[in-house]
Amino acid sequence: AKLSQDLLDALSHGDIIPHYQPMIRLQDNSLMGFEVVARWSDRKHTLRKALDFIPFAEKSGLIIQLDLDILRQSCKQLYQWQQLALHPEHIRVAVNLSPKHLLSTESVNRLLEIIHQAKVSPKNLVFEFSEKEFVRQNQSSFEALDKLRAAGILIGMDDFGTGFSSLNALFDYPIDFIKVDRSFTSRMLSSKKDLSLMRAVRDLSNDLGFQVIIEGIETIQQHKKLVEIGCEYGQGYYIAKPMKPGDVEHLFEA
Ligand code: G
Ligand code: G
Ligand code: MN
Ligand code: NA
């Protein structure tokens, strides 16, 4: 109950803020977008990572309000970047969302309404949903995803490899990106199994027409190996950590 009230207070005080982690094309380090992650900033200048409060928000239902708030702030940021002519058209902003947003037409419309009100194009956005949730979805959430895609938003499957989808199931999911979970990246140089998953996903992405983003790249060796096997996009601490908006703006010019 305490955490519930604290989180509600944080939301109403504007203490839940988006940070932005660059996603790049691995071959030439060019910027392809940012993943938005929620951070809880308290008055004592400490920052809490999403893992400290997202699971609780998910359980208590506050995730809906939190996600909408992060989406609103991210769209506002995107709009500002565009007004400053900083933001190239092809750069995407990727927001994490709970699958709860896919449960009704009203909640899907609410997401679209936020984008519309912010005067940004859906074509500049990606919505990420965790793979663990994809396996549990039914036909109506897939229809919700279709509706978002029809509006121009790209759909990413987050944490791929942790949710027990068969590779075969990838044929059925209405997605544009998969993001390979960082546990595979951390093991890929020591485990043949993990490296071969990277290769299999790369091949499937070519055949099925989605794109692959490798998460959690922490070393130059991992980066080099991924370029060598032909994985196109990536993110991770070796490239850049999630940052405040002011700290990512110089990247647009590079
Ligand atoms: O930032 P951190 O490494 O603690 O993130 C942990 C998890 O929380 C990640 O899996 C991420 O997808 C999720 N997450 C981060 N920000 C948000 C958000 O704004 N909304 C939702 N629903 N999940 C988020
Ligand atoms: O599950 P999801 O991909 O949405 O989680 C994103 C979170 O992962 C970010 O909030 C960030 O804190 C964390 N993260 C991003 N890059 C790295 C990395 O290279 N290593 C580790 N351990 N965590 C990372
Ligand atoms: Mn994510
Ligand atoms: Na992930």
CA 84 to centroid of ligand 4, rounded, Å: 31
- Give the DSSP H/E element, type plus range, for residue 226: helix 220-229
Q: Is this structure's pTM higher than 0.90? A: yes
Q: How far is the CA of 216 from the centre of ligand 2 (A)?
A: 6
Percent helix, strand and coil across the chain, each rounded to 5? 50, 20, 30
- What structural domains does the chain harbor? 2-249 (3.20.20.450)
pLDDT of residue 254: 60
123-127, 138-142, 170-174, 248-252: which has the highest mean pLDDT? 123-127
**Is any ligand 1 atom within 6 A of the Cβ of residue 74?**
no
Digit-coded pLDDT (tens) for 216-233: 999 999 999 999 999 999
Q: Determine if ligand 1 sits within 6 Å of the CB of residue 71.
A: no
Segment (H or E) for 154: strand 154-160
ipTM above 0.85, yes or no: yes
Q: What is the DSSP string of 28-95?
A: TTEEEEEEEEEEEE-TTS-EE-GGGTHHHHHHHSTHHHHHHHHHHHHHHHHHHHHHTT-S-TT-EEEE
> 69-117, pLDDT tens digit by residue?
999 999 999 999 888 777 677 889 999 999 999 999 999 999 999 999 9
Residue 57 has pLDDT above 90, yes or no: yes
Are 33 and 91 in contact, with CB atoms under 8 Å apart? Answer: yes
Would you say the CB of residue 49 lies under 6 angstroms from ligand 1?
yes
